[in-house]
Amino acid sequence: MPNGWSNDWPRFWADNRLRCHLPHLPAPVARRVEALADRLAEHLPRDPYPALLHGDLWGGNILVAGGRVNGLIDPACCHGDREVDVAMLGLFDHPPARFHDALGLAPGWRERQPVYRLWPLLVHVRLFGASYLAPTLGALDSLGA
């Protein structure tokens, strides 16, 4: 998972989280992902405030005891837009609205979620097969790709 420094967040995301999957996708899906990657600056901020990301944040990687989070496991850490972890968490789990409200996310964060969810979806297509194509195509549809 390449995580080198970049001063252009959309280019980083396009190259290191989307285009890297193109050779491993069915051709029609690869064309749509590539078209989205080519215009990713329309969807993502160029320079979001950097945060340390867990990188694989979903319910199975959150340890809870006594109603409190007491640990996070299985990290794939990097620096980036904190909305990445929010998107991953919302892919398989459904945090309550108060969770999102407490984060104070930038306007438009909901519209960016499909972009950030594409990365784990593409990984899942590669690892687990066609059962992940429908949500992948849904994310692409929502982005006009």
Beta-carbon contacts of residue 4 (< 8 Å; ≥ 6 apart): 16
Q: Please indicate whether residue 141 is annotated as part of the active site.
A: no
Three-state SS at 111:
helix
Residue with tokens 């992948």: 136
Main-chain phi, psi angles of 18, to 5 degrees: -115, -60
Task: Report the distance separating Cα 119 and Cα 21, nearest Å.
Answer: 9
| Catalytically annotated residue among 47, 56, 101, 141 | 56
Residue 112: which residues within 8 A CB-CB, separation 6 or more? Answer: 43, 44, 83, 87
So which residues are the catalytic ones? 56
